[in-house]
Amino acid sequence: MEEWEEVEIETVSDGFDVSPSELHAAFEISGDHLAEVRDRHTMMLVTSGELPEKHIAKIAPERILNWMVEELNGVQRKDGLSIPLHGADSPSIHISKGSIEGHSTLKLKVGNNFVRKLPLPTDVKAIKASMKDGILDIRW
């Protein structure tokens, strides 16, 4: 009687069967130094933007509100604004009204990482907020 033992065939790759996107992803995952470079680059961008933003906030706070709403893909109206917050649950969204250097300011906090301070028009007395279908609607 003949006895046979199965032999496993190993596939050998010469490296040309991998797509460039897979190679790029593998390089990014293996490169620990890239995380530090990204963090430092982000810090530099944030720091470099602080001076112009502070200057504009002093001379024309209403312009900064337009930029912030645009940054958040929102819509500004005469009596308020709407910001899409799809995926954020209502308990993680916090809104507070305050004053920074004499200007009325709205602080929007979503979760633990996202905080924006939006300058409000000078005649705003009260704020009303509602969340419907993932869109935060703020009226004054």
Q: How many domains does the chain have?
A: 2
39 has a pLDDT exceeding 90: no
What is the C-alpha to C-alpha distance for residues 140 and 128, in angstroms, rounded to an integer? 6
28 has a pLDDT exceeding 80: no
Tell me, what DSSP letter sits at residue 73?
T
Same domain? 33 vs 98: no
What digits encode the pLDDT tens for the residues 47-86?
Answer: 777 666 667 667 766 677 777 788 888 998 888 999 998 8
Same domain? 20 vs 55: yes
Residue 1 forms part of a structural domain? no
What is the C-alpha to C-alpha distance for residues 85 and 116, in angstroms, rounded to an integer? 13
Query: Residue 88 maps to which CATH number?
Result: 2.60.40.790
Location of structure tokens 């996202």: 114
Same domain? 100 vs 69: yes
**Contacts (Cβ under 8 Å, ≥6 apart) of 83:** 69, 72, 73, 74, 108, 135, 136, 138
